[in-house]
A = this chain, B = another copy of it.
Amino acid sequence: MAQQHHETTGRGMGAGTAEEALAAHLQDQATEFLRSLRVHRESTTDAQGAEESLAAARSLRRAARRIGAALHTFRPLLDHQWSAALRPELAWLSGTLAQEHAYATRLARLTDALHRLSGPPSVPSPAPPLEVATTTAVGRRSAGRNGWAQRQLPGADEPGSTTRTLTVGAAKAAALLERQLTLARTRAHSTALQALGSSRFHAVADSIALLASEVPFSGAPHDLEQLAATAESDLAEAVEALPLGRAGHPYNAEALAHGLHSADSAPDAQDAPWLKVRSLLRLYRYAQEVVHGPTALESRVLDASHALNVHREAAAAAQAAAQAARTPRIAPATAYALGVLHADQRHEVEAARFAFQRAWQHEPVITG
């Protein structure tokens, strides 16, 4: 990518340095988008291609996000009609492609949490007597985790195993979450494949192919750094609105407050400003990449970004646990384990806020 950067800098079609730098960035990303798309198309047919296909989808998403962010942050430099039309299409694409990965990550996070919460089995289990259908393509991928849930289950119907009930509850919760999130992931996979075959996607790919050769500028003179500074001040403003004082006080029990109120709306309300900062921090990071290149990012920005990613994943995982608990006819032990899991993930949300506050306050980035 660094080499490409130098190659494309010469291709600048605007008059100023701002246009040249932005063109270089957009064309790098467009090239990466097209390369990933080609790899993705070639890799889906053979057996070993699954890994490669996933990696290609990730690169595609990565490039789409960066192009979309640049279209937003540097919009005064770009042809308005073009960028206003392309940006929502890129958002749709990266959003659609992100779903499969998000469900896989969420399941891994929840299964890991259940492992941590359950600890080692209290009684060495005999050979697992249950047969779980793990022979589908998706099931095979997660056989390791499924195997765990299976190993815990034998005690389920042992008479008088009251002390093991909750461990069984954790195993049943793991099995339920695996079923629900694997189904969601499979659907997301189909949706992504459909999207990549749609005429809507072909229109996006055509636009990106054009972008790789020519960036449609508005012609208006603008300073790249000034536009990046706007992204920075938008971020600073959103951070100002966060309850950082409270977040910096450990064990404030904020993230779980109203956790039993209404599993859908109550956490959303308190999570929204954090998710907004996450988006703005990403725009800020991508803008910095355009202006200074990827190596210029401070570690505290990366730490803050990481904390907000964890925030988002833990919040989604907590919601998945709450949603699974609303499955009809589940056993009380399963529901109990899901309740513990929900609270655990909401505490991870709170921990992520604390981590963000620590990273952010470490050294103020906003000097203006």
Q: Which of A120, A122, A325, A338 gathers most chain B CB within 10 Å?
A: A325
Taking chain A's interface residues, is the majority helix, strand, or loop, or is none over half, making it mixed? helix
| A251 and B350 in contact, given A169-B260, A262-B164 (Cβ under 8 angstroms) | yes
**Interface members, chain A 101-139 (any B CB < 8 Å):** 114, 116-120, 122
Complex: A165 Cα to B261 Cα, angstroms: 9
Choose the segment among A182-190, A287-295, A328-336 that binds chain B (4+ C-beta atoms closer than 8 Å): A328-336
CB < 8 Å: which of B118, B251, B340, B351 contacts A339?
A: B340
Q: Which of A163, A259, A351 gathers most chain B CB within 10 Å?
A: A259
Number of interface residues of A (CB under 8 A): 52
Question: Is A166 an interface position by the 8 A CB rule?
Answer: yes
Are A165 and B351 in contact, CB atoms less than 8 angstroms apart? no
Question: Is A257 an interface position by the 8 A CB rule?
Answer: yes
Inside 8 A of A348's CB, which chain B residues have their CB?
Answer: 251, 253
| A260 and B117 in contact, given A250-B250, A250-B354, A251-B347 (Cβ under 8 angstroms) | yes
**Interface members, chain A 239-292 (any B CB < 8 Å):** 250-251, 253, 256-266
Question: Is A337 an interface position by the 8 A CB rule?
Answer: yes
Question: Is A326 an interface position by the 8 A CB rule?
Answer: yes
Are B339 and A335 in contact, CB atoms less than 8 angstroms apart? yes
Inside 8 A of A256's CB, which chain B residues have their CB?
Answer: 117, 340, 344, 347
Complex: A122 Cα to B170 Cα, angstroms: 30
Are A167 and B340 in contact, CB atoms less than 8 angstroms apart? no
Name the distance in Å between A70's Cβ and chain B's nearest Cβ.
36
**Interface members, chain A 325-368 (any B CB < 8 Å):** 325-326, 330-344, 347-348, 350-351, 354
Are A262 and B122 in contact, CB atoms less than 8 angstroms apart? yes
Inside 8 A of A163's CB, which chain B residues have their CB?
Answer: 262-265
Inside 8 A of A330's CB, which chain B residues have their CB?
Answer: 332
Inside 8 A of A120's CB, which chain B residues have their CB?
Answer: 261
Are B335 and A266 in contact, CB atoms less than 8 angstroms apart? no
Question: Is A304 an interface position by the 8 A CB rule?
Answer: no
Question: Is A322 an interface position by the 8 A CB rule?
Answer: yes
Inside 8 A of A266's CB, which chain B residues have their CB?
Answer: 119
- With both beta carbons as reference points, the residue of chain B lying nearest to A264 in the complex is identified as B163
Are A261 and B347 in contact, CB atoms less than 8 angstroms apart? no
Inside 8 A of A259's CB, which chain B residues have their CB?
Answer: 117, 340, 344
Are A119 and B261 in contact, CB atoms less than 8 angstroms apart? yes
**22 A-B pairs with C-beta separation under 8 A:** A116-B253, A116-B257, A117-B259, A117-B260, A118-B258, A119-B258, A120-B261, A162-B326, A163-B262, A166-B260, A167-B261, A250-B354, A251-B251, A253-B347, A253-B348, A256-B340, A256-B344, A259-B340, A335-B336, A339-B341, A340-B342, A340-B343
